[in-house]
Structure 1
Amino acid sequence: METHDAIEVCHLADPSATDALGRRLASQLIAAGADDGALLLLRGELGTGKTSLVQGLAAAMGIAEPISSPTFALAQHYDTDAGPDAGASALVHLDLYRLEQSAAADELFAQEEEEARRIGAVMAVEWPERLSFRPEGAWEVDLSHNDDGEGRLARITRPAAPATPR
């Protein structure tokens, strides 16, 4: 089983702080997925800022078109307006909230992941708990409302580095 290393836990005072977190994560995800894209799993109850984080991610990637939650479309694809040296060429944004059957979520995820890897895209997945498995090699952000009712908390983890052979 894959282990994850915590990068940080941070307080997000408002949606602009959540957007800023997405912007910061963009360069790390692009560097991590230089060969075949990167995977980001976003967990959290309704209203915790998953889509706001993806908006920041997209802005940092040079995506000019508005980013909205793909709750009804299930998947959205966005091309970057940045040049070829910018890293990832696209963003694939999934929202599995409406897929109550894990088999349907698994099938959509597999199709979109294959395409994302083929084009070297960053793939952001909202509601990954709908899947019947935990995807390997994924970065994860768990968003929650602060206990004091002020803002949100984000717990960011990344895949552990593979062990080096002796």
Structure 2
Amino acid sequence: MSIFDKLRAGVQTASAAETQSLAAEFAAALPPDTTLALHGNLGVGKTTFVQGLALGFGIDATVTSPTFTIFTLYRGPRTLVHLDAYRLERDAQIESLMLDDFLTSPYCLAVEWPEKIPSWIPCDAFHLTLGIAPDNQHTLKLA
């Protein structure tokens, strides 16, 4: 079963390390120039998932939430742009960030809170919903 099949069926993880490992496996299978829309409430592991993507892309930098900087750029064999759209009030604000200038192929744009900028998310984006199950395990499901 491919990582895409696993995630489409839904996966539960019991630790941050397990979530990061799953994300690293997913990163290795992603096509170049990909946008990931990461859905879920605060604290469900979106940044943890992006940390795993960075590991999978061979990026050595420490990945943290870009809540106050809006986005962070990580360079490695593949460029990872981590965008937190939580504080954006409207789609038009995304244009002022000039993100297109940072999307150097091959890239992955990982967007937390994509519902804040719906018209800016490409139709071919991968949508991943993260949550927490009643038993406190983290859930991940690819739409």
Q: TM-score range by the shorter chain?
A: 0.7 to 0.9
Amino acid in structure 1 at the alignment position of 2:90: Q
Aligned equivalent of 1:55:
51
Deviation track 1:24-70 (CA, whole Å, cap 9, x = no partner) reads 110111xx22xxx1111111100000000000110111111100000
Separation (CA, whole Å) in 2 of partners of 1:76 and 1:27: 21
Aligned equivalent of 1:144:
131
1:155 maps onto 2:141 in alignment: yes
Separation (CA, whole Å) in 2 of partners of 1:108 and 1:92: 16
Aligned-CA RMSD value: 2.0
Select which of 99, 112, 116 maps to 2:88.
99
**Superposition deviation, residue 149 in structure 1:** 3.6
Gaps of 5+ in 2: none
Deviation track 1:76-131 (CA, whole Å, cap 9, x = no partner) reads 11111x4xxxxxx21111010111233324x257x324531x43211111110101
Gaps of 5+ in 1: 83-88, 158-166
Select which of 114, 138, 142 maps to 1:128.
114
Amino acid in structure 2 at the alignment position of 1:138: A
What TM-score comes out, normalization by structure 1 length? 0.74
Aligned equivalent of 2:68:
72
Q: Give percent identity, aligned residues only.
A: 34
From the CA coordinates, give the structure whose radius of gyration is larger: 1
Aligned equivalent of 2:23:
22
1:57 is paired with a residue whose SS is helix
Separation (CA, whole Å) in 1 of partners of 2:35 and 2:118: 17
2:61 is paired with a residue whose SS is coil
Moved over 6 A (4+): none
Change (3 A) 1:108 1:54: farther
The number of residues matched between the two structures is 137
Does structure 2 retain, via aligned residues, the 8 Å contact 1:113–1:123? no
Does structure 2 retain, via aligned residues, the 8 Å contact 1:95–1:126? yes
Does structure 1 retain, via aligned residues, the 8 Å contact 2:73–2:102? no
Amino acid in structure 2 at the alignment position of 1:115: F
Separation (CA, whole Å) in 2 of partners of 1:108 and 1:123: 17
